[in-house]
Amino acid sequence: MFHYHKGIKINGTALWLDAERAVEMCCVSHAHLDHAKKHRQILATDKTIQFFDLRVGKIHATRLEFKKPFAFDGGTITLFPAGHILGSAQILIEVDSFRLLYSGDFNIENSAAAEPIEIPQSDILIMECTFGRPFYRFPKRSLVVERLLDFVGQALKAGATPVVIGYALGKTQEAMKILGDAGFEMSVHGSVARLARIYETFGISLGQWEKFNKQQLRGKVVIIPPRAIRTRALKNIPNKRTIFLSGWALHEQTKSRRGVDAALPLSDHADFDGLLEYARRVNPKRIYTTHGFDDFHRYLWKLGFDAQPLRTVNQLSLF
């Protein structure tokens, strides 16, 4: 049914799923840059397409709605919310009553700024496993949110400027939603602001914020992507307190590696237990794992699944 080489190619069709190089036609799960290439044509949610237009440039695009099958080359594509970032999708391919589900990046925990995941069943599952080891068990999301609000509140109370650091698309908008709902005012890096405006066009209120102005930071929370940490404007903020948001914050060395005062595991990926729960709910006959630890499939074996890592092999053609 498919073969794998720098992306997933559906046999007998022109369709790729999240191809890692530019191709003629690709169904794209979401708009993070490791999944965003300038294909000749993309199929994606309307939100992903708008992010693509901003980050990659205008591309011929077909808009697909969640849970509405789209016919192609003798089969159908149906997208389901993935819970990763706004517009992110799992991709279900059906050909001759055979079902293949490609998870893309996903999160089974509800995000403040993404559609909740909806998990279909499938015969074959190709799933990402970024945090596929038992070490990666995140605290309850409500506790992580509480810690973020406490960090920001304590910094402001001490007369410091809190600086919240997360990836430009998804993580920072979730942080803005959390902080905005709590009544904090924000000063937002330009790359984050451009994407935040797209969130707001889709009805997601991110609170009271303005584009970053180093002259007007008093009482505000600064929101930036990691690449902005070393810019002169950020270095010149006096008396700042920095916090980095990522699932990798579970590692003690994250603070020193990132040069921050604190790190919190606010993740847009499923943790180890979430990965196992996802597999249970899909309940496939076979699982292929990708984008994570090569040994994660062994944990799926223990649950009784026929699982193996997805690797590029010459003449590899599966089903």
Q: pLDDT tens-digit profile of 224-268?
A: 999 998 888 888 899 999 999 999 999 999 999 999 999 999 999
Q: How far apart are CA 72 and CA 69, in angstroms?
A: 10
What pLDDT, on the 0 to 100 scale, is given for residue 185?
98
pLDDT tens column, 189-216: 999 999 999 999 999 999 999 999 989 9
CATH at residue 203: 3.40.50.10890
Read off the CATH number of the domain in which 35 is found.
3.60.15.10
Asked if residue 36 lies in contact with residue 28, where contact means CB atoms within 8 angstroms, the answer is yes
Q: Look at residue 7 and tell me if it is in a domain.
A: yes
Please tell me whether residues 251 and 180 are part of one structural domain. yes
| Share above pLDDT 70 across residues of the chain, in percent, rounded to a whole number | 97
Rounded-to-integer distance, Cα 318 and Cα 68, Å:
26
- The side-by-side arrangement of strands in the sheet containing 185-188 is 209-211, 185-188, 220-224, 161-165, 240-245, 262-264
Residue-wise pLDDT for 175-184, tens only, equals: 999 999 999 9
Distance between CA 56 and CA 39 in Å, rounded? 10
Q: Is the pLDDT confidence value at 282 over 60?
A: yes
Q: For the chain, what's the residue count? A: 319
Residues 303 and 193 in one domain: no
Domain that holds residue 182: 141-264
- Write out the H or E segment, with its range, that includes residue 276: helix 272-282
124 lies in the same domain as 242: no
> Rounded to whole angstroms, how far apart are CA atoms 286 and 305?
7
How far is the C-alpha of 176 from the C-alpha of 100, rounded, in Å? 35
The whole model's pTM is what?
Answer: 0.95
* Spatial CA neighbour of 109 closest among 142, 149, 146, 148: 142
Residue 319: inside a domain, yes or no? no
Same domain, 188 and 298: no
**How many domains does the chain fold into?**
2
Same domain, 120 and 242: no
Token duo for residue 166: 């997360």
